[in-house]
Amino acid sequence: MEVIEKLSILADAAKYDASCASSGTQLRDSKGSSSIGSTTGMGICHSYAPDGRCISLLKILLTNLCIYDCVYCVNRHSSNVHRARFTTKEVVDLTISFYKRNYIEGLFLSSGIIQNPNYTMEQLVTVAKSLREDHGFRGYIHLKTIPDADESLIHQAGIYADRLSINIELPSTESLISLAPEKNVKSIRSSMGTLKSHIEESKEEQSSKKVSRITYVKKESKKALTKNAVRKTKRSEKLFAPAGQSTQMIVGADSSNDFKILTTSHQLYKSFGMRRVYYSAFSPIPDASKQLPLTEPPLLREHRIYQADWLMRFYGFQVSELVNTQTQPMLDLDIDPKLNWALRNRDIFPIDINRADREILLRVPGLGPRNVQRILQSRAFHRLSLEDLKRMRLSLKKIKPFISTADYHPASSLIDHENLKAKLVDPKQHQLTLF
Amino acid sequence: MTNACFIQLDEYATYEDWYPYARYCLHHHIVPSDVHWQNDNIDDLFCNDSNSQQLTIEQAQNFKPGNSNQIRVNRNFVILARYSCCFLHPDRFAVMYRILWRVVHEDNLLLADITDPDIHLANRWAKAVGRDRHKMKAFVRFKEIKFANEDPHYVAWFEPEHAIVKLTSDFFRDRFYGMDWSILTPYLCVHWVKGTLTFTQGCDKSQAPQEDALEDLWRTYYLNIFNPARLKVKAMCAEMPKKYWHNLPESSLIDPLIKQAERAKQAMIEKKPTDPLLPSKTKFDREKWINSK
Ligand code: SF4
Put simply, the answer to whether A45 touches B239 (Cβ < 8 Å) is yes
Instruction: Using DSSP, state whether A402 is helix, strand or coil.
Output: helix
Question: What does the DSSP 8-state code read for residue A13?
Answer: T
What are the chain A neighbours of B231 within 8 Å (beta carbons)? 50-51, 435
Q: Are A142 and A57 in contact (CB under 8 A)?
A: yes
Subunit contact A48:B174, Cβ cutoff 8 A? no
Nearest CA to ligand 1 atom 5: A112
Q: How far is the CA of A2 from the centre of ligand 1 (A)?
A: 24
CB B230 to CB A299 under 8 A? yes
Alpha-carbon distance A190 to nearest alpha carbon in chain B (angstroms): 15
User: By the CB < 8 Å criterion, does B213 face chain A?
Assistant: no
User: What is the DSSP code (8-state) at residue A239?
Assistant: P
Q: Is B225 at the interface with chain A, CB within 8 A? A: yes
- SS3 (DSSP) at A47: strand
Return the residue of A nearest to B182 by Cα.
A101
CB contacts of A53 in chain B (<8 Å) are 227, 230
Cβ atoms A36, B177 nearer than 8 A: yes
The CA–CA distances, whole Å, from A182 to A29, A76, A80 equal: 41, 11, 19
Residue A179 Cβ inside 6 Å of ligand 1? The answer reads: no
Nearest 10 degrees: CA dihedral of A279, A283, A286, A292?
100
The confidence score (pLDDT) of residue A44 equals 95
Per domain, the residue ranges of chain B are: 5-132, 140-207, 215-270
Q: Residue B232 in contact with residue A52, Cβ under 8 Å?
A: yes
pLDDT digits (tens, 9 = 90+) for B253-285: 999 999 888 888 888 777 766 665 555 556 678
Residue identifier of the C-alpha nearest atom 1 of ligand 1: A68
**pLDDT tens track of chain A, all 435 residues?**
899 999 999 999 999 888 889 998 999 999 999 999 999 989 999 999 999 899 999 999 999 999 998 988 989 988 888 999 999 999 999 999 999 999 999 999 999 999 999 999 999 999 999 999 999 999 999 999 999 999 999 999 999 999 999 999 999 999 999 899 889 999 999 999 999 999 999 988 887 764 444 455 554 444 444 444 433 444 447 899 999 999 999 999 999 999 999 999 999 999 999 999 999 999 878 787 777 777 788 999 999 999 999 999 999 999 999 998 888 899 999 999 999 999 999 888 999 999 999 999 999 999 999 999 999 988 988 899 999 898 888 988 889 889 999 888 876 555 555 566 666 665 554 433 333
**Whole-complex ipTM:** 0.91
Q: What is the pTM of this model?
A: 0.89
Report the atom number in ligand 1 closest to the C-alpha of A77.
Answer: 7
Distance CA B212, CA B142 (A): 8
From the list B137, B248, B265, the residue facing A44 with the nearest CB is: B137
Rounded Cα distance, B162 and A5, in Å: 40
pLDDT value for B67: 75
C-alpha span between B245 and A359 (Å, rounded): 42
pLDDT at residue B45 in the model: 52
User: B261 in contact with A at a CB cutoff of 8 Å?
Assistant: yes
Please calculate the CA angle B270-B272-B277 and round it to the nearest 5 degrees: 140
Cβ–ligand 1 distance for A76 under 6 Å, the answer yes
**CB nearest A7 (choices: B113, B220, B293):** B220
Chain B residues with beta carbon closer than 8 angstroms to that of A285: 268
Assess B151–A contact: CB distance below 8 Å, yes or no.
Answer: no
To test the pocket of ligand 1, the residue of A61, A64, A67, A76 to mutate (highest count of ligand atoms within 8 Å of its CB) is A76
A351 pocket-lining for ligand 1 (C-beta < 6 Å) = no
Nearest to A67 among B230, B268, B283 (CB): B283
Q: Which residues 6+ apart lie within 8 Å of B58 measured at CB?
A: none
In this structure, the number of other CB atoms found within 10 A of the CB of residue A148 comes to: 21
3-state secondary structure chain B: CCCCEEEECCCCCCHHHHHHHHHHHHHCCCCHHHEEEECCCCCCHHHHCCCCEECCHHHHHHCCCCHHHCCCCCHHHHHHHHHHCCCCCCCHHHHHHHHHHHHHHCCCCHHHCCCCHHHHHHHHHHHHHHHHHHHHHHHCCCEEEEECCEEEEEEEECCCCCCCHHHHHHHHHHHCCCCEEEEECCCEEEEEECCEEEEEECCCHHHCCCCCCCHHHHHHHHHHHCCHHHCCHHHHHHHCCHHHHHHCHHHHHHHHHHHHHHHHHHHHHHCCCCCCCCCHHHCCCHHHHHHHC
Residue with CA nearest ligand 1 atom 4: A112
Q: What is the pLDDT of residue A214?
A: 46
Residue A70 Cβ < 6 Å to ligand 1: yes
A381 touches B: beta carbon within 8 Å: yes
> Ligand 1: distance of its center to the CA of A158 in Å?
21
CA-to-CA separations, A99 to A176, A208, A225, B167, in angstroms, rounded: 37, 34, 25, 22
Whether the CB of B76 is below 8 Å from some CB of chain A: the reply is: no
- Of A4, A281, A378, nearest to B220 by CB-CB distance is A4
The residue extents of the domains of chain A are 3-300, 334-424
Distance A150 CA to ligand 1 centre (A): 18
Residues A355/A384, Cβ–Cβ less than 8 Å: no
Q: How many CA atoms lie within 13 A of B239 on its CB side?
A: 18
Minimum distance, in Å, between the CA of residue A316 and any CA atom of chain B: 26
If you measure from the C-alpha of residue A73 to the centroid of ligand 1, how many angstroms do you get, rounded to a whole number? 6
The CATH architecture assigned to A3-300 reads Alpha-Beta Barrel (3.20)
- C-alpha A45/C-alpha A103 separation (Å) is 9
Helices B15-27 and B75-84: angle between axes, nearest 10 degrees: 130
Output the pLDDT for position A228.
Answer: 40
Closest Cβ opposite residue A50 in set B138, B179, B258: B258
Q: Residue B70: its pLDDT value, please?
A: 82
> What residues of chain A, 102 to 121, have a C-beta less than 8 Å from chain B?
102-103, 113, 116-118
How many angstroms away from the CA of B58 is the closest CA of chain A? 35
Centroid of ligand 1 to alpha carbon of A172 (angstroms): 17
Q: Best of A12, A15, A68 to mutate for ligand 1, by most ligand atoms within 8 A of CB?
A: A68
Tell whether ligand 1 has an atom less than 6 A from the beta carbon of residue A114.
no
Q: Tell me the CA–centroid distance for residue A76 and ligand 1, in Å.
A: 6
Q: Do A286 and B271 touch (CB under 8 A)?
A: yes
For residue B273, the model assigns a pLDDT of 66
Q: Extract the residue ranges of chain B whose pLDDT is less than 50.
A: 1
